[in-house]
Amino acid sequence: MKRRDFLKTTAASTPLLFLPHVPGFPLRRQETDRSLLAETALNTAEGLKASYADIRIGLYRTQSLSTREQRVTGISDSESSGFGVRVMVNGTWGFAASNILTVDEVRRITREAVAVARANSRLQKEPVRLAPVKTILATWQTPHEKDPFAVPLKEKTQFLLDLNARALAVQGVTFCSSFMAFVRENKLFASSDGSVIEQTLYRCYPTFTVTSVDRTRGSFQSRNAYSEPQGMGYEYVEEYPWDDDIRQAAQDVLEKHAAKSVEPGKSDLVLHPSNLWLTIHESVGHPTELDRALGMEANYAGTSFLTPDKLGTFRFGSPLVNFVADKTQPGGLATCGYDDDGVPTREWYLVKEGIFVDYQTTRDQAHWIGRKESYGCSYAQSWADVPFQRMPNVSLSPGPKPLSLTQLISDTEDGILIKGRGSYSIDHQRYNFQFGGQTFYEIRNGRITGMLKDVAYQARTPDFWNSCDAICSREEYALGGSFNDGKGEPGQSNAVSHGCPPARFRNINILNTGKQS
């Protein structure tokens, strides 16, 4: 990129570079104008013969609050700012970062990144190839109504204490704890491809745990909120139906004391979105990461049985099963306008009508499977970390015909309804798994007849998804997700959502987790 071209770019995008677009989110006083920092990095990299360079300048803020009964047990509020420079020299990546936002430091860090790339190139077997991307001048922010960081701490803590009080007002509830966390990422991306992109991302996670102790039975039961983290502002906290969830949670923990233990064996399952999203994450999201499928990544979640020879032919699930990767999904934790490679985000099929058809990719991965463009899956957890392939929102599409959860239950003769996420385990290749839940209900002759306990379901991934014979329609769709999903070495954390309606799975192996072998 020529200097005069970059200057034209910055002139055309002055509002992007001088100040962020989010009210109440100013740059720190000691920070140099970000346009000058970006220009310095790209010009320095060009002068050192880098074939590609980009810089990400970020300001990240996180806040969390926790309470138990009528006590505030913790408040954390932190902010981090800095920049990371990534370059390519001799077909090899180099990266360096610093929290000192000055022109001289940007020059030094860019030279360091180039030196790292040159050193790495001595060991590089094949040059990195980047899929093409258009030049983009843009801003984007998570759609939201209220910045959670503008809400006073006093108001937030009182909200949590009120949640606890509502739960404790129910006779038989012994404890209640509650928690909320917020993230705001503001980052400026500029590349030698000519792109200048500013984004501000918000994430929000409120929840509670209700606990009941029955001393006569010697029983201890709990249930978490069915609220799920969302890519939204504080309006999610204000709009979620807390009264209904707390009332039901209190009832659930009391019923759990008297619930009968499940009989192990085969059963049909009706899985609520509050449970099924985690199964999607572990058995669909992770195995469709291309680096895992090629054995180039194994940290935290292992590799994958979905090797490239299965593309386009492997029957992953029944013809009803469609999985869509989507970084544009409203409310999604992984939703953004552009990834950390500067690629516009989009949606695409991973599994279509039961057939495994695609992976998650970044610019430097696309050619590995013959793709001509990236799907926009590059992300770094902070300015100090290297961007690499991270999971987009991966969701199960609704069924083709109108079908409610009530209708699905009435159509199930002998089964178990499971709500909420529980403990789980899955093997190194995402093939054999077992999952628990929060609450379990026996279904007999199309009716819920009572609560069960000690339930876990076990299956192989393709057997499980091929057993799916009914998926509820769009009206029953809900979005769950994980605030923290680990990958990489050094490890990084990514937030990701998974949506789905309730679905039914036939003849699944049920384990009793309370019986000793």
461-485 pLDDT, tens per residue? Answer: 999 999 999 999 999 999 999 999 9
The DSSP secondary-structure symbol of 281 reads: I
Reported as a single tens digit per residue, the pLDDT across 140-179 is 999 999 999 999 999 999 999 999 999 999 999 999 999 9
Cis bond leading into 287, ω under 30°? no
pLDDT at position 288 is 98
- Residue ending a domain, among 211, 229, 258, is 258
Say if residue 13's pLDDT is above 60. Answer: no
- Assess if residue 317 is contained within a domain: yes
- When divided into structural domains, the chain yields a total of 2
What confidence score (pLDDT) does residue 178 get?
98
Do 212 and 65 fall into the same domain?
Answer: yes
Task: Examine residue 420 and state whether it is found in any structural domain, yes or no.
Answer: yes
Is 146 part of any domain?
yes
Domain of residue 30, CATH code: 3.30.2290.10
- φ, ψ of residue 16 to 5 degrees: the values are -70, -40
Q: Which of 214, 235, 258 is the last residue of a domain?
A: 258
What is d(CA 132, CA 195) in angstroms, rounded to the nearest whole number? 12
Whether residue 377 is found in the same domain as residue 229: no
Alpha-carbon distance 99 to 83, whole Å?
6
Q: Which of 230 and 514 is assigned the larger pLDDT?
A: 230
CB-count burial class (<10 Å; 0-12, 13-18, 19+) for 183: buried
252 and 309 assigned to the same domain? no
CA dihedral angle for residue 118, residue 119, residue 125, residue 131, rounded to 10 degrees = -40
pLDDT at 23: 30
Say what the pLDDT of residue 32 is. Answer: 62
Q: Residues 106-132: pLDDT tens digits?
A: 999 999 999 999 999 999 989 999 999
User: Of 458, 448, 455, nearest to 507 (Cα)?
Assistant: 458
Tens digit of each residue's pLDDT (9 = 90 or more) over 274-331: 999 999 999 999 999 999 999 999 999 999 999 999 999 999 999 999 999 999 999 9
Residues 242-251 have a mean pLDDT of: 95
Residues whose CB is less than 8 angstroms from the CB of residue 448 and which lie 6 or more positions away in sequence, other chains included: 409, 417, 441, 442
Predicted confidence (pLDDT) at residue 459 exceeds the cutoff of 80: yes
Residues 230 and 285 in one domain: no
Could you list the residue range(s) of the whole structural domain that residue 361 is in?
Answer: 260-512
- Round to whole Å and give the CA distance between 414 and 451: 14
The residue from 258, 280, 315 where one domain ends is: 258
Indicate if 218 and 345 belong to the same structural domain: no
Q: How far apart are CA 70 and CA 168, in angstroms?
A: 10
Are 239 and 264 within one domain?
Answer: no
Q: Residues 320-366: pLDDT tens digits? A: 999 999 999 999 999 999 999 999 999 999 999 999 999 999 999 99
Mean pLDDT of 42-56: 98
Q: Are 95 and 84 in contact (CB under 8 A)?
A: yes
What integer pLDDT is reported at residue 227 of this predicted model? 95
Residues 304 and 447 reside in one and the same domain: yes
The rounded distance, in Å, linking the Cα atoms of 506 and 465 is: 10
The model's pLDDT over 177-227, given as tens digits with 9 standing for 90+, comes to 999 999 999 999 999 999 999 999 999 999 999 999 998 888 899 999 999
In sequence order, what are the beta bridge partners of 140? Answer: 199
Residue 517 lies in a domain: no
Co-location of 264 and 252 in the same domain? no
Answer whether residue 9 shows pLDDT above 70: no
Give CA–CA dist 159/170, Å, rounded. 18
Are residues 302 and 428 located together in one domain of the fold?
A: yes
Question: pLDDT tens digit string along 386-442?
Answer: 999 999 999 999 999 999 999 999 999 999 999 999 999 999 999 999 999 999 999
**Domain check: are 486 and 507 in the same one?**
yes
pLDDT value for 218:
85
pLDDT for 7? 37
Dist. CA 281–CA 380, nearest whole Å: 19
Please give the mean pLDDT across all residues of the chain: 93
**Helix pair 242-258, 153-168: axis angle to 10 deg:** 40
Distances (CA, A) of 236 to 67, 124, 150, 156: 19, 47, 14, 13
